[in-house]
Amino acid sequence: MVKKQKQYRFKSIFTLATLQFSGHFLEYFVQNSDKVVAFYLLSRLGNDKNFIEIYEKGKLVKKIYLFSPKNLLLRYFFLYIQYIWMLFTFFSPKEEFFFVNFNPFFFMGSSIVRLFRKVEYVYWIGDYWVMDSWIIKMYRSAIFFYHKRIPYTLYLTNRINKVMNKGTIRSDNRKKTVMWGVDSSIYTYGMHEKNTITLCFIGVLVETQGFELLLSVVKQSPNIRLKIIGKGSLVLVNKINDILKKDMLDTKVYFPNRFLYGNELKDIVNTCDIGIALYTVDRNNVTYFADPAKIKQYAEFGLPVIMTNVSEIASYISKYRAGIVVNSNRTSVQKAIVDIKKNYNLYKKGVQAFNNHFNYQSYYASAFSFMRKRL
């Protein structure tokens, strides 16, 4: 049973947004705010343009598409110009509002902006990368720089919290861990076929997600199917397609090489039985510090989860018995699939308990309580 929290209305919110899963924080603000301006930043892998959505009293009143060049430098130049334009177009000089931001790039010039707009910044740090390339080092320096200067800082995991504060802060409203929420009302029941298990992978395809291991499990198990929903680099996509062709897995693996959203995604996932995420277990893997969106998506759709023990969310999967945390080998994964198949209803109950804990309405009502001072 979901624990109910009293909902509070916020006046004005400006936030970054994405079409990919992001914990329903935008839905939360739209449902509980007088005005929300959402700045959607889309992946450069596709042809979609960035855009703005403006909500008033929970209703979408305007949508504006933006110029979105593919060149990285040009893209960021126009993103910043568009960000400044939004601040001065959709918010009046006397209007108090929060800017919920994940990217330190948009904090540049914040002191000057505050001279003209009554904005309170919230830095929700969702990524922390330990790699040593010069661009990652610059990004990491920007994270620490603005973390010291932005009055409200949130962390997507305790691991990021610990790195940023040299120890986890749990009670200070200005610095706290806020993970992704889930919509516990989106839920499916029962296995789809008695003799076949369909695995589901959702997300951006990268090398550290164990595709060779995953495809070897599908190859060695005649009753297992797989649906890969996402896209990645041409090199990795070709690698996956080569394996599918070599091992004659085309009839067992659905791989459209594209992202799906909304009802199209839901329709595909509703044909699956288990969500899978075989991340490389390594502190250098960006997932080590993350709250991986795909795990919350699987649970939200009612799928028990099989994952490796790389991120903090694995402990919640084990705690609620919403799935099984496995080792990075075929035997461990196959055993987990068999166990979930034999005890499917038990794991489905675990998924519901997991979802109740992270239900976005009650979870965010507590997490964003510090913003009530400007009701």
Residue 257: give its domain's CATH number: 3.40.50.2000
Confidence band, pLDDT 50/70/90 cuts, at residue 373: low
Helix, strand, coil content of the chain in percent (nearest 5): 40, 20, 35
Looking at the fold, whether 205 and 321 belong to one and the same domain comes out as yes
Say what angle helices 330-342 and 344-357 make with each other, to 10 degrees.
90
Looking at the fold, whether 201 and 274 belong to one and the same domain comes out as yes
For residue 191, being part of any structural domain is answered with: no
For residue 189, being part of any structural domain is answered with: no
Closest CA to 18 of 39, 40, 46: 40
Work out the angle at residue 308's Cα, subtended by the Cα atoms of residues 21 and 284, and round it to the nearest 5 degrees: 80
For residue 289, being part of any structural domain is answered with: yes
Looking at the fold, whether 36 and 145 belong to one and the same domain comes out as yes
> What pLDDT is attached to residue 210?
92
More confident residue, 100 or 190: 100
For residue 3, being part of any structural domain is answered with: no
Looking at the fold, whether 208 and 173 belong to one and the same domain comes out as no
| Candidate from 122-131, 183-192, 334-343, 345-354 with smallest mean pLDDT | 183-192
| Mean pLDDT along residues 206-222 | 93
> What pLDDT is attached to residue 375?
47
At residue 291, the 3 state secondary structure works out as coil
Query: Which value, to the nearest 10 degrees, does the dihedral of the CA atoms of residues 93, 103, 372, 368 take?
Result: 170
For residue 364, being part of any structural domain is answered with: yes
Looking at the fold, whether 36 and 126 belong to one and the same domain comes out as yes
The domain total for the chain is 2
> Could you tell me what percent of the chain has a pLDDT over 90?
73
At residue 171, the 3 state secondary structure works out as coil
For residue 104, being part of any structural domain is answered with: yes
Looking at the fold, whether 207 and 298 belong to one and the same domain comes out as yes
Residue 267 in tokens: 């329709």
Whether the CB-CB separation of 224 and 260 falls below 8 Å is answered with no
Closest CA to 107 of 92, 90, 91, 87: 87
* Cβ neighbours, 10 Å, residue 103: 20
> What pLDDT is attached to residue 45?
53
Provide the whole-model pTM. 0.89
Residue 203 scores a pLDDT above 80: yes
Confidence band, pLDDT 50/70/90 cuts, at residue 370: confident
For residue 233, being part of any structural domain is answered with: yes
> What pLDDT is attached to residue 169?
67
For residue 244, being part of any structural domain is answered with: yes
- Whole-angstrom Cα distance, residue 334 to residue 306? 10
Residue 341 scores a pLDDT above 80: yes
At residue 60, the 3 state secondary structure works out as strand
Q: What would the pLDDT profile of 118-161 be if each residue is shown by its tens digit?
A: 999 999 999 898 888 888 899 999 999 999 999 899 999 999 99
> What pLDDT is attached to residue 192?
66
Burial class (CB in 10 A: 0-12, 13-18, 19+), 324: buried
- Whole-angstrom Cα distance, residue 66 to residue 366? 34
Looking at the fold, whether 89 and 128 belong to one and the same domain comes out as yes
Whether the CB-CB separation of 296 and 359 falls below 8 Å is answered with no
At residue 293, the 3 state secondary structure works out as helix
Looking at the fold, whether 211 and 260 belong to one and the same domain comes out as yes
Domain of 204 in residue numbering reads as 197-357
Looking at the fold, whether 308 and 365 belong to one and the same domain comes out as no
